[in-house]
Amino acid sequence: MYICIEGIDGSGKSSQTLLLEKWLQEAGFDVLRVFEPSQSVVGNLIRSMLQDSKASDINFQRTLGLLFAADRMILMEKIRKAEIKGSIIITDRSFYSSLVYQDGEEWIREINKHVLKPDIVVLLDIEPETAIKRCEGKDHFENVVFLEKIRKKYMDLAEKEKFYVINANNGINKVQEDIKRVIAPKLGMCI
């Protein structure tokens, strides 16, 4: 089972994936938790490129799109192995992030055609103003107008791809409970 948590910057993905990992481990599952960009050389390159002032230029974004796809391909090896072992994989972001952050849907789908698609996608939906307060000054992506645009793209994609949308304006514990309510039945668990 490959579970993905998506959402705009500051929506709480990293805290929620950590809590989800802990809950599933305590329930006896073997869990692999990953995030994108990953810790590979390509992931580290992406992270340093995201600090660049040119990061919103179209060609720079295309380069990032290719690098995100490459980073994801590297990560797939780990994910495939975990799937074979029967582990639950939890990811903070996936190829869906490229679909909303980078332009050109057809091209993004093409360069990501060999990556595994998550079985369940939980979208943490949050007001950009709230999100931005949580991650002030981290990189160029974090401004309200930009996050508003990304949020809308996520909501459109959620409808098309049947994501589970959760209100992430709530407190951390309430959001986690809502996530558990989505995941538990998929794993035959009672909560």
Identify whether the C-beta of residue 34 lies closer than 8 Å to the C-beta of residue 91.
yes
47-50 long-range contacts, Cβ below 8 Å, gap at least 24? 50/139, 50/140, 50/141
Q: Which backbone phi and psi does 156 adopt, to 5 degrees?
A: -65, -45
CA distance 8 to 132: 9
The nearer residue to ligand TYD, 15 or 87, going by C-beta atoms, is 15
Alpha-carbon distance of 123 to 11, in angstroms, equals: 9
Q: Is position 112 an interface residue for ligand TYD (rule: CB under 6 A)? A: no
97 binds ligand TYD (CB under 6 A): yes
Of 24-32, 92-100, 121-129, 154-162, the window that binds ligand TYD (rule: CB under 6 A) is: 92-100
Binders of ligand TYD among 16-55, rule CB under 6 A? Answer: 36-37, 50
Which residue's CB comes closest to ligand TYD? 101
With the C-alpha atoms ordered 150, 156, 162, 167, is the resulting torsion angle positive or negative?
positive
Size of the site for ligand TYD (CB under 6 A): 12
Specify the residue, 29 or 146, whose C-beta has the smaller distance to ligand TYD: 146
Return the range that interacts with ligand TYD (CB under 6 A); candidates 21-29, 94-102, 155-163, 164-172.
94-102
The secondary structure of the chain in percent helix, strand, coil, rounded to multiples of 5, reads 55, 15, 30
- Residue whose CB is less far from ligand TYD, 2 or 101: 101
Q: Fill in the per-residue mask, 129 to 148: x = in contact with ligand TYD (CB under 6 A), - = not in contact.
A: ------------x-------
Q: Which stretch binds ligand TYD (CB under 6 A): 24-32, 81-89, 90-98, 113-121?
A: 90-98
The amino acid present at 157, given as its one-letter code, is L
In residues, how long is the chain?
A: 191
**H/E run at residue 166:** strand 164-167
Tell the smallest beta-carbon distance from residue 159 to ligand TYD (Å). 20
Quote the strand ranges of 78-146, DSSP E.
88-92, 120-125
Binding site for ligand TYD (CB under 6 A): 9, 14, 36-37, 50, 68, 93, 97-98, 101-102, 141
